[in-house]
Amino acid sequence: MRRLWLHLTPLVSLSDKKRPWGFLVMAALAVGIPTMVGAAVGQFSAGALGSMGGLVILYMPSTAIPHRMVTLAVCSFGFAASFAFGVLTSFNPYLSAATLGMTAFIVTVITRFFALPPPGSFFFILVACLSRTLPFDLALAPERVGIVLLGCMGACLLALGYSVFVKPQAETAARPPDWHIAAIVLESGLIAVFVGGSYLFALLIGLDNPYWVPVSCAAIMQGATFRAVWHRKVHRIVGTAIGVGVAWAIFSLPLGPWELALVVTLLSFLIEILVTRNYGLAVIFITPLTVIFAEAALASANPSHLMLVRLFDIVIGSSFGYLGGWVVHHPQLFRALEARLKEWRGV
């Protein structure tokens, strides 16, 4: 019983990791302001695209200002590229799944090599998945990518203002690169196979707009250990089940664009408070936020059906992520594959 309790305690306990209140407000504004602008001009869906770009604020490191701004600029380019791959290839399920896997591979290699702290590659993959929810229209692709970049630019401006006027509590040095190339490439390749494969599987079995499947798979495979993967699976499913109820309650209300924009801002604020303290609690609010980004119109029309479909998507994605995490964190298998890769590279 004691051993079982030791396994379950991390699922309900709160970490003492806290973020400065100024950063929490800035992160909420970076995501919320684009939806407010969209509501003001009668283009809430375009504002939601800008909010996706605003998520880049989560990659702001607590380093010197020049390094901080360069990091955000590079991450903004990564967001735009990840989004562009999705909107340009969503017309074919096989090509879309392949480019999603390729995106997951590239961003994981880069974030692992440069030792980018959490959320690591996750939000690049999230943006890539959400881009595949849009109807394919080649003529609109430049406009959509541009709106995402505008959201990134807004986040960078907020970060610059915050950096100038708010003195960091503890400025840290930039992390050195991780030179374990074989391990990084192998792990990134496995993540890419499971993320892209889960999306293709969902498309082939006829799931409608199953963006939550690869998102859930990627989120769970972010775990640093297999126990962390297991915790994330439980957090993801339980948190999403509760989050589906929150989303249903939100979309059952007669909310207009301005109200939805305020909900986006509030949800972003709550997520940033909780994500470092307990991932499962943060997932409760990530679920409705992501649905607003991807399917606000459909959710308002039929919230009960859509929420049940998305919960099913997450169970499938979490199962893929759990299996992928087992492979990545299975010591004997992973070391054998790493040794074979080094042999092949002649190292």
Q: Tell me the DSSP string of 182-212.
A: HHHHHHHHHHHHHHHHHHHHHHHTT-SS-TH
Asked whether residue 182 is assigned to any structural domain, the reply reads yes
Asked whether residue 249 is assigned to any structural domain, the reply reads yes
Query: What number of other Cβ atoms are within 10 A of residue 241's Cβ?
Result: 16
Asked whether residue 88 is assigned to any structural domain, the reply reads yes
Number of domains in the chain: 1
Which domain covers residue 245, as residue numbers?
18-169+178-345
Query: What number of other Cβ atoms are within 10 A of residue 147's Cβ?
Result: 23
Comparing CA positions, the residue from 149, 112, 140, 106 lying closest to residue 125 is 106
Q: What is the pTM of this model?
A: 0.88
Asked whether residue 4 is assigned to any structural domain, the reply reads no
Q: Convert the pLDDT of each residue in 90-118 to its tens digit.
A: 999 999 999 999 999 999 999 999 988 87
The conformation of residue 134, written as its DSSP 8-state character, comes to S
pLDDT value of position 77: 95
How far is 268 from 158, CA to CA, in rounded Å? Answer: 15
Asked whether residue 1 is assigned to any structural domain, the reply reads no
Listed as ranges, residues in the chain with pLDDT below 70 are: 1-16, 167-171, 173-174, 223-233, 235-236, 279-280, 297-301, 330-347
Greatest alpha-carbon span in the chain: 63
Asked whether residue 10 is assigned to any structural domain, the reply reads no
Question: Six-digit token pair at 231?
Answer: 């915790």
Asked whether residue 139 is assigned to any structural domain, the reply reads yes
Asked whether residue 9 is assigned to any structural domain, the reply reads no
124 contacts: CB under 8 Å, gap ≥ 6 = 75, 78, 79, 82, 103, 107, 111
